[in-house]
Amino acid sequence: MKIIMLGAPGAGKGTQAKRVAEEYGIPHISTGDIFRANIRDNTELGKKAKEYMDKGLLVPDELTCDLVMNRISEADCKDGFVLDGFPRTIPQADALTKALEEKGMSMDAAVDIEVPDENIIGRMAGRRFCPKCGATYHVVALPPKAEGICDNDGEKLVIRDDDKEETVRNRLSVYHKETQPLIDYYKKAQILKTVDGTKTADEVFDGIKAVLS
């Protein structure tokens, strides 16, 4: 089964992508991991990607797609894979569709984990982080025993810059502009499956299994 995971930042798609990969015995493929592996192994594609990354530029769509296609051509992907973090834009989706068609392949499902913006802001703004041991908490879902203090080492908990409301709103704005159109793209391709992401992680996973069965 060849699956694309979609969802806004903070919707939980990374966590669910790992669970789906485990459930179906297929690799979980994230573009970040692919970039790091190719740069580490000093491949030709990795060298090209590093040139852009070193300049603080986005890796072009065509090169990103080449890296992904390279990865899914490996033996462990013969029964399928879960793509997490790619495609992010319509040009990337087009490049992927075209590259797969050339190999006589196509995606089976694009699973969109739907969570309203306000829920995501609440989730992320409530996160707390221990700068000493790295433990994470949530003021509602997973509070520390003493407010604002790490259970492990008594360190004062902090809010990561990534989780600040203004940053979250900016990331959501970018998502709606660039990635949201993929929902329509895969709906048109008749492979879009939508799951309610406001439920517990286990319920969301059950929802994903139901739409994939």
So which residues are the catalytic ones?
13, 88, 127, 160, 171
Nearest to 198 by CA among 111, 110, 116: 116
> Would you give the end-to-end CA distance of the chain in angstroms?
11
Question: What angle separates helix 61-72 from helix 90-102, to the nearest 10 degrees?
Answer: 40
Alpha helices in the chain (DSSP H): 13-24, 31-40, 44-54, 61-72, 90-102, 117-125, 165-178, 181-188, 201-212
**Helix (H, G, I), strand (E, B), or coil: what is residue 177?**
helix
Beta bridge partners of 99: none
Residues 6+ apart with CB under 8 A from 122: 140
* Inter-residue contact 29 to 82 (CB < 8 Å): yes
* Inter-residue contact 165 to 125 (CB < 8 Å): yes
